[in-house]
Each structure stands twice: as C-alpha cells, then as structure tokens.
Structure 1
Amino acid sequence: MSTPYKFQGWLGMDKDSVNGKMVWGDYEPKTWTESDVDIKITHCGQCGSDIHTLRAGWGYTIFPCCVGHEIVGTAVKVGSAAKKGIKVGDRVGVGAQAGSCLKPDCEDCSAGLENYCSRMVGTYNGKYADGSKSYGGYAKYTRVPSHFVFKIPDGIASADAAPMLCGGITVYAPLTHNGCGPGKRVGIVGVGGLGHFGLLFAKALGADKVVAISRTRSKESDAKQMGADDFIATDEDKDWAKTHRQTLDLIVSTVSSPKMPLGQYFRLLKTQGQFIQVGAPEDKIPSFSAFALIAKGVKFGGSSIGSPAEIDAMLKFAAEKKIKPWIVTRPMKDANQAVLDLEDGKARYRYVLVNEPEGAHL
C-alpha cells in the first residue's frame, strides 16, 4: 500500500559501517497489516546494541540494517485493528522489540512475557513471520505492530522518553522483579547509558541504599547526583570486595566486559542475595567458583529488556516520579559521528538523535 512518505534511514551495509560509514538510503518496511502503526520519528536514542549489531559482534547481521530501538515520534497511519487506542497524531514510542508470536498456546506470550518469546522480533535486524525485515529508528519513519507501540505520557519529554524504551526498561524490569524498594540495598555495576538509569530508578523505587560500582572515581560526582549513596571504585579502592562484603541485597550489572570481577561482585551480596546481569558482552563472561554462589545461597541470573506491560508501567512511573535521564541530543544527520563517539565512551550518558523539521535536508 503506497504512502505519501518514504521510508529512509541510515543503513549499515556491512561490518565496516560501525566505523562511521552508514549510508543514507531508502528501505522497504514490513508488509503492512491492519494491526500496524506507521510512525514519523522525531527522536531515537542510541544503544550499545546498535554498535554490536553494526559490527556483527553478536553474530549474524542482516545487512543492510538500520539500527536504533529507542524510538519516539508521531503516529501518522494507524491500522483498523490496531490496539491500545492509538490514533493518528498520538505521540508514541517503540523499544527493542517489534514482534512475538502472540499465540494463545505460547507460554511466554500468554503469561505477558512477550520479550522472552522464542519468536521474538527485534525492532531492527529481525524478520517477521511473513519474511519481511525489521528496520530501526535511525530513520525518518518506521512501521511496527501496535502491540509493541506505546503512548508516551504527557509528563515525559520525547527526548527523555526515547532512551527509556530500551535503556530504561532494561534496568527497571530486573529492579522491580527482584524487590528493589524500601528495606533493600542495591548495587548498580557500571555508570553509563544503562547504569545511570539503574541509579535513577533504584533511588525512585525507594531502596534504602543505592551503591554505584565502577572501575574509577571519574563518575562519582555524577553518580551521587543521580541518587547513589555510596561509590565503589574497583580499580582504585584497596580491598573493596572485603571492605563492602555482604552489604547488598541486589546487584544489577550493566557492564559488558568479559573481564569483570564476578567472584568479587558476589562477595558484596548478603546471604541469598541476587546478582542480575543485563549487559551483554560479545565474549563469554568470566568463570567463577560455584562456591561463590553455594556458600551464601546467592542467585545469579539475567534479564532481557521488558514486556509491553512493564514498559507501560515504567513510563507511568517515570512520569509520576519526574525521572529525567542524563542525555545529549544530536542531529540525526550526524548519526555516523554519534556512533563513533558512543563507541569511544563519550556519551554522558545517552545520546539521542533528533530529526530535523520536515523539509530540512540531511
């Protein structure tokens, strides 16, 4: 079905695209169905997943690929079978997931765990059941099934909402799943795009104590402004694992380094504490002794983004608590340079690409 607008975006053509070599071009969106929503993109946050995918670091990338899965914009076309009461003109967003089977006999989908469905479709670098590809938000427009499109609350600016849709939910979900709140002491490993959300949400959820854990103290001042009550610098604090042993109930790790000191992190946990990994390194995580878990009944787990219901709950919570991420906006036309800067660790703490007004040229 023809539209009065073109689907155009920054396309990674091969693994070298991660080196600032994406190319602006047309692409064919998913086949239209009456449950879909077309979105004119105003903002798209940048995620570490974009880097991993552009260089095919996690495995096979379906080139050409348009990355970006922290999308906010305006609904410009809404199918007759669209869900959630979405209307043309609504301000809406899309996170890292654009599809799942949604079948009644799927244990995950029927339990509201669509993000764990074996037929999960990523917002980019994925394929729908009909074989059409998914393309992300470094673009002018996108098309997504309405089940995975979210209305943005009035209390959240579009630039702030965008990074919440992946970065925010990736830490909000494990925090809420694992009891973050009054009576809990929570550690966040890594003060970056994900970790800074962890600090903001852990504090807003009412944790008794929030501890930022990083290699150096270069971000300590920022972390404390975000809500950290204490700070551990693992490369600088002598005997840090011994000094802070058994002081935390829950640790959420946002780092993606294959060299992280897992065994020492476990020492920070109280008896029956929980360590949840959300950062996804391209290499294997470090080995550790089973006794690090057995001796204290510690649980080691993982978490992947969040379900649509959890994303809606997070957005409502963020609006109520007036949570504001630390972002830097960049013009969409400068996406290649922003990718290079993100890879160099320059973001403080999330880059958000912004499309120019209609009629402006890239």
Structure 2
Amino acid sequence: MTSTPDTSSDASLDKSTTFTGWASTGTIELKKWSYHPRLLSEDEIEIEITHCGICGSDIHTITSGWGDLKYSPCIPGHEVVGKVVVKGANTTHQIGDLVGVGGLISSCGNCKHCKTGFEQFCPERTFIFNDTFKDGRGGLTYGGFADRLQVHGKFAFKIPDGLSGAEAAPLLCAGLTVFNPLKTLGAGPGKKVGVIGIGGLGHLGVQFARAMQCDEVVAISSGDSKREEAFKLGATKYINSSKPEEMKAAHQSLDIILYTSTGKNIDWSGLVDLIGNRGKLVVVAFLGESLGVPGYPLNVRHISISGSIIGGIETTKEMIAFAAKHNVRSLVEVMPMSNATEAIQRADDGHPRFRVVLDASK
C-alpha cells in the first residue's frame, strides 16, 4: 500500500491539507495511509480526533463480511470523538468543542424520514466510511481511525462535561444501538427488560435499562463468567441460558428482550418462551443466520419481533445527555492508534471487557 493521497473522487479536494489514518485493503491488517479531504463547506467542521472505538461493524466491513469494499484503501472507524479545529460559517460548534460522530454523517434533510427524526433511513444518507457523499459534491468517505475528520456540523454532537473521550466513543454506535429500541419500546417503570449477550452492546443495554428505572433488568448469557459483572452494571437478575432450570424459572416473565449477541445455533423457541404476552423482542446484533422463530406463540400471545439500527440526530443527542446524567459509561480498553491492527484483532477475538478504544495521541 502506498501513502499517496486519494485523488479518485470528482470532488474538489483541499490539496493543502492531508489527513492520515490506518486503512484496510480488504483484510484485518491496517496500514498507514494518507488522503486529501474535500474542501470544507460552510456547513462542515474539521475534527482533530482524540479517540475512536472499534465496533464489530468495522471488522465485518473491511473483511468483506457484508460484501466487497466499495473502494480501497478504506479507513474504518465510526465511534469518533475529537476537538473542533476548523468550523464552517453556518455551524454552531465552536473551536475547541469536544464532539462525537457516529456512523451517519449526512442525509438529505428533506425526505419524510429526515423530517420525522429518522435520518438513518434517508435514501440519501451517507455513512462515515466505505461510502460516497451524496450532497452533489462527490467524494469518498473515510472513518475515524485517523488524525482528522470532516463532517456536517449537525451530525457532530457535543460531549458533555464528565464524559471522557474514551468513555464517550462507544456511545456513538453501541450506546445508540441499544438506547434507541429501549426508548422506542417504552422501557421504564412497570417493565421487565432482558438483555441477551453481555458484551460491547449488552453491557450498555443493561446500564440504560437500569437508568430507565425498569422494574427488572435481567442479564442473559450462555455461561456464568459474566454474572458478577452483570450485577455490577445494574442487572437485578441473571440467567445462564445453558441451564434449563434457570430458563424455565423465567417462563414468560419479560416485557422486552434486547438481543445483542452474535452467537450461532440460537434456540429461538427458548428465547420466545421468556417473553410475556404482548411482549417484544428486538434484534440489534447483525446475525449471520436466519431467525428460526416459532410462529404459534407470535399469534396467540401477540408477541412482536423486530430489528433496530442506530438512531437519528435528536435521538443521538438525547442518548448522550441521558448517559452523562445517569452515569451510563462504556467499559473500555484503551490502546494506541498506532497499534490499530493489534487492537482490531483483539476486538475480533472477543477478548475485551467490553470495548476497545483507540487513543489517537499514541
């Protein structure tokens, strides 16, 4: 891989500036690579990155688990925190603000989805990496495993005091991914919520459900290794799903189940049996297999099964403020950005408790 700046897009590039990041050409091995960003518009800001979380979506994308890369080299990273160093005239951010950027960095602003706060469904949406800008200026998108990033100001969110950059970074994807469905499904007093999978997503799901004052927060995992941690995170009950007696004891006891695991050979019948009448199961993990869900209980007990992905601008703002106020924190291992390959391999191997965050100063 060369370090030649990218000139493949038709957009006007700012050749006086070079951004440098850690890029993939289709494997988990990342190498240093530089490119010229687009000329900054009046609606955009430039961020000096301090931290970037590593998400499973980064790994799936760069290894072509979801299809071939749209272009190469590709800089991943969509849980970005950094300081504003340049601002366009139309943005409300100030130089020096600590802001966060998630997977979505642009949308049309005019469609029915944008007008109702669901920018993540906009047909003209643009993702932070492995995508192309759709604002008429052209260009490729590069992510947060880098020193700098340009983004439309409305898709950068001020990080409140009390949240460190390392803690805040995973909230921009993992946190939003679990907060959005919990909010939408009415998690709160009077509800019993189960969280399946106590990992990068699930450990935040437990904390959010606790902070929403749900009557019960039930952590569900296939072993006992995370039992103690789950209670520290705020769970009121723990179920080892490999133990039939514990599953049976929870028969039809939950109003909402948040499914965050990426495990295979899932016993969907057993999970559906945990849901009470008119209960809901929402899948937020990207599964590698079809759902073998029994149909009968869906009908006779009015059970709903759905999926969910991130959230729009206002939901993101609400999530960050809620996390800061209620002490919802990502538990992270911080590694130097210069060790990006080692860090992403560690995340892929499932070793962290619970997220890996890259520190761009190292």
Which of 134, 140, 149 is residue 147 of structure 2 equivalent to?
Answer: 140
Contact 2:277 2:301 in 1 (8 A): yes
Contact 1:71 1:93 in 2 (8 A): yes
1:301 and 2:327 are equivalent in the alignment: no
SS in 2 for 1:37: strand
One-letter identity of the residue aligned with 2:184: H
Task: Provide the residue aligned with 2:84 in structure 1.
Answer: 75
Which of 349, 357, 362 is residue 354 of structure 2 equivalent to?
Answer: 349
SS in 2 for 1:156: coil
Contact 2:44 2:153 in 1 (8 A): yes
1:22 and 2:30 are equivalent in the alignment: yes
Contact 1:257 1:285 in 2 (8 A): no
Q: Distance in 2 between matches of 1:134 and 1:214?
A: 37
SS in 2 for 1:109: helix
- Flag as ranges the 4+ runs of structure 1 deviating above 6 A: none
Contact 2:54 2:356 in 1 (8 A): yes
One-letter identity of the residue aligned with 2:73: P
Task: Provide the residue aligned with 2:257 in structure 1.
Answer: 251
The one-character-per-residue Cα deviations of 1:227-283 (angstroms, maximum 9, x if unpaired) are 111111122x124443211110000111123422222111111100010110012x2
Any gaps of 5 or more consecutive residues in structure 1? 358-362
One-letter identity of the residue aligned with 2:257: I
Which of 59, 74, 78 is residue 65 of structure 1 equivalent to?
Answer: 74
Q: Distance in 1 between matches of 2:284 and 2:53?
A: 18
Q: Distance in 1 between matches of 2:291 and 2:66?
A: 17
SS in 1 for 2:244: coil
Contact 1:30 1:133 in 2 (8 A): no
Which of 126, 132, 135 is residue 127 of structure 1 equivalent to?
Answer: 132
Contact 2:80 2:100 in 1 (8 A): yes
Q: Distance in 1 between matches of 2:89 and 2:264?
A: 47
Q: Give me the TM-score of the superposition, normalised by structure 2.
A: 0.92
Structure 1 residues 31 and 256, CA gap change in structure 2 (3 angstroms): farther
Any gaps of 5 or more consecutive residues in structure 2? 1-12
One-letter identity of the residue aligned with 2:31: V
1:312 and 2:317 are equivalent in the alignment: yes
1:270 and 2:276 are equivalent in the alignment: yes
One-letter identity of the residue aligned with 2:269: G
Q: Distance in 2 between matches of 1:320 and 1:4?
A: 41
Q: Distance in 2 between matches of 1:318 and 1:178?
A: 18
| CA RMSD between the two structures | 1.5
Q: Distance in 1 between matches of 2:212 and 2:151?
A: 31
Structure 1 residues 257 and 285, CA gap change in structure 2 (3 angstroms): farther
Task: Provide the residue aligned with 1:286 in structure 2.
Answer: 291
Q: CA deviation at 1:173?
A: 0.6
Q: Distance in 2 between matches of 1:111 and 1:285?
A: 31
Which of 19, 43, 48 is residue 7 of structure 1 equivalent to?
Answer: 19
1:242 and 2:251 are equivalent in the alignment: no
Q: CA deviation at 1:322?
A: 2.1
Task: Provide the residue aligned with 1:360 in structure 2.
Answer: none
Contact 1:332 1:353 in 2 (8 A): yes
Q: Distance in 1 between matches of 2:300 and 2:61?
A: 38
Q: Distance in 1 between matches of 2:275 and 2:31?
A: 47
Q: Distance in 1 between matches of 2:222 and 2:16?
A: 51
SS in 2 for 1:193: coil
For 1:185-264, list aligned pairs within 5 A.
185-235=192-242, 237-264=243-270
Q: Distance in 2 between matches of 1:285 and 1:195?
A: 21
Q: Distance in 2 between matches of 1:302 and 1:167?
A: 15
Task: Provide the residue aligned with 1:36 in structure 2.
Answer: 44
The one-character-per-residue Cα deviations of 1:111-143 (angstroms, maximum 9, x if unpaired) are 111012122211111111133111111100011
1:166 and 2:178 are equivalent in the alignment: no
One-letter identity of the residue aligned with 1:50: D
One-letter identity of the residue aligned with 1:23: K
Q: CA deviation at 1:318?
A: 1.3
Structure 1 residues 30 and 302, CA gap change in structure 2 (3 angstroms): farther
1:101 and 2:137 are equivalent in the alignment: no
Contact 1:263 1:292 in 2 (8 A): no
One-letter identity of the residue aligned with 1:125: N
Contact 2:17 2:37 in 1 (8 A): no
